[in-house]
């Protein structure tokens, strides 16, 4: 066992609750209890929630779509982070159990994952779910687990995933995140049937795209776990064939339990950061979109961007970093 894989003693010290799926307290309730406890026992988390409490919010309405802008200075650590392979290789991995802050506690999930409070929350109840071992971030191999998390958390929570090159702050350590369902504008927008088009079915799974939401989005819904997972994995494979590298194609994905099934919202990406991210001075825009931003909650860590964003600028950023409707349409045609 490497030092980074989480020794048994280390995991026991961290685990303030265990979820084994058999019976007992629902996972979402365990997470609420963990958060309440950790706000008292972990000063760093209390500071993160204070910052969230003071975060400012404004809404931007485009033509038939809307986003919220959150000004949250504490998020500079994430939006300004270097995620190039060399930097990642050199830094101690902050999701490995042995490197977590000493006060941080976890729910040990089905022996393999640690459910953790995110110390820089974007949402109240924002969780990070890290594998106990230092395994690479990859969705296709862990698709069934991702769907199971949505079942175990239930419809109150939305799971989300950032691909290793599309917003994951630890691209080398397998992790998901979770937040209360319905807080990202896109979750409501896609419920409007006028915003959906091109529906087709495969093995009981419905796949469609959105229309007029300023970025191309696939919506995948179904009730049979294996078939839903197979469709998502197929889509990722198709995106990979058109990519220039063997690494996982750039994507973000949201997943919610709906009755007996799942709803997944998939954002195929062209790049992580818009060109303006790398400009110095007035023209620079420190916007580094991940799943939450693609979901319509754009996080700004500096006041400048909080005021500067307009509908045109948001549309321009989406156009630069994500597929458009036509590109998602072509993807649908190939399924
Ligand atoms: Zn790690």
Residue 245 in this model has a pLDDT that exceeds 90 = no
Section 178-203 average pLDDT: 97
Q: Is the pLDDT of residue 325 over 60?
A: yes
pLDDT over 50 (residue 283)? yes
What integer is the mean pLDDT of 202-226? 98
The token duo for 224 is 């049979």
Please report whether residue 49 resides in a domain: yes
243 pLDDT higher than 70: no
Task: Report if residue 76 sits inside a domain.
Answer: yes
Does a structural domain hold residue 311? Answer: no
CA of 138 to the centre of ligand 1 (A): 13
Q: Lowest-confidence range among 7-16, 23-32, 263-272, 296-305?
A: 7-16
Question: What is the number of other CB atoms lying within 10 angstroms of the CB of residue 318?
Answer: 24
Q: How far is the CA of 173 from the centre of ligand 1 (A)?
A: 5
Average pLDDT of the segment spanning 271-299: 94
Report the b/e string of 51-81 with b at 16+ CB within 10 A: bbeebeeeebebeebbbbbbbbebbeebbee
CA angle 271, 272, 277 (to 5 degrees): 110
Q: What is the mean pLDDT of residues 149-174?
A: 95
Strands 175-180 and 205-210: unpaired
Closest among 285, 312, 287, 307 to 298, alpha carbons compared? 287
| 266 within some domain | yes
Q: Are 142 and 229 in contact (CB under 8 A)?
A: no
| Residue 168 CA to ligand 1 centre (angstroms) | 13
Name the pLDDT band for 244 (thresholds 50, 70, 90): low
Distance CA 196, CA 17 (A): 41
Confidence of residue 95 (pLDDT cuts 50, 70, 90): very high
- Whole-angstrom distance, CA of residue 71 vs CA of residue 302: 7
Q: Is residue 59 in a domain?
A: yes
- Under the banding of pLDDT at 50, 70 and 90, the label for residue 2 is very low
- Mean local confidence (pLDDT), 34-55: 96
Give me ligand 1 centre to Cα 156, in Å. 28
- 167 C-alpha to ligand 1 centroid (Å): 16
Domain that holds residue 221: 3-274+316-334
Distance 6 CA to ligand 1 centre (A): 9
Task: Compute the distance from residue 77 Cα to the ligand 1 centre, in Å.
Answer: 18
Q: Assess if residue 301 is contained within a domain.
A: no
pLDDT beyond 50 at 306: yes
Question: How many angstroms is it from 76 CA to the middle of ligand 1?
Answer: 21
Question: What CATH number does the domain containing 84 carry?
Answer: 3.30.428
Above 80 in pLDDT, residue 107?
yes
- Among 19, 203, 215, 189, residue whose Cα is nearest residue 111: 19
- Centre of ligand 1 to C-alpha 135, Å, is 7
**What distance in Å separates the CA atoms of residue 168 and residue 154, rounded to the nearest whole number?**
24
pLDDT at 42 over 70: yes
Kind and range of the H or E element at 209?
A: strand 205-210
Domain count, the chain: 1
Q: What is the DSSP letter of 322?
A: B
Q: Compute the average pLDDT of residues 84-92.
A: 86
- Residue 333 CA, ligand 1 centroid: distance in Å: 38
Find residue 255's DSSP bridge partners.
Answer: 159, 264
User: pTM for this structure?
Assistant: 0.95
- Please state, rounded to an integer, the average pLDDT across all residues of the chain: 93
Mean pLDDT of 117-139: 96
Strand duo 113-117 + 127-131: pairing: antiparallel
- Cα 18 to ligand 1 centre (Å): 21
Ligand 1 centroid – CA 20 distance (Å): 23
The answer to whether residue 97 is domain-embedded is: yes
Whether 246 maps to a domain, the answer reads yes
- CA of 152 relative to ligand 1 center, distance in Å: 24
What sections of the chain are H helices per DSSP? 8-14, 27-41, 43-54, 76-79, 85-90, 143-153, 185-189, 225-241, 291-294, 303-308, 311-321, 325-334
């Amino acid at each position: 066992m490497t030092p980074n894989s989480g020794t048994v003693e280390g995991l026991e010290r961290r685990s303030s609750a265990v979820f084994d799926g058999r019976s007992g307290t629902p996972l979402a309730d365990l997470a609420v209890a963990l958060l309440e406890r950790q706000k008292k026992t972990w000063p760093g988390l209390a500071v993160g929630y204070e910052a969230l409490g003071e975060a400012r919010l404004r809404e931007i309405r485009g033509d038939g779509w809307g986003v919220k802008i959150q000004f949250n200075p504490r998020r500079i650590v994430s939006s300004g982070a270097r995620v190039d392979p060399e930097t990642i290789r050199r830094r101690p991995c902050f999701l490995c159990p042995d490197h977590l802050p000493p006060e941080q506690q976890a729910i040990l999930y089905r022996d393999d994952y640690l459910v953790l409070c995110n110390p820089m929350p974007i949402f109240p109840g924002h969780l990070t779910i890290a594998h106990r071992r230092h395994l690479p971030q990859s969705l296709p191999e862990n698709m069934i687990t991702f769907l199971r998390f949505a079942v175990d958390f239930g419809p109150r929570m939305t799971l989300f995933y950032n691909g290793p090159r599309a917003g994951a702050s630890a691209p080398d350590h397998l992790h998901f995140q979770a937040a209360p369902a319905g807080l990202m504008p896109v979750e409501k927008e896609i419920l409007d049937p006028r915003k959906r088009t091109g529906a087709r079915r495969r093995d009981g799974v419905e796949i469609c795209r959105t229309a007029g939401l300023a970025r191309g989005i696939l919506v995948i819904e179904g009730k049979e776990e294996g078939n839903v997972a197979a469709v998502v994995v197929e889509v990722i494979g198709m995106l990979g064939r058109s990519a220039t590298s063997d690494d996982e194609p750039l994507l973000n994905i949201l997943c919610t339990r709906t009755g007996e099934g799942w709803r997944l919202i998939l954002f195929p990406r062209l790049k992580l950061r818009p060109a303006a991210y790398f400009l110095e001075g007035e023209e620079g825009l420190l916007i580094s979109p991940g799943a939450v931003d693609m979901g319509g909650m754009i996080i700004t860590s500096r006041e400048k961007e909080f005021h500067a964003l307009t509908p045109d600028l948001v549309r321009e950023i989406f156009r630069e970093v994500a597929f458009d409707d036509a590109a998602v349409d072509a993807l649908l045609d190939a399924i």
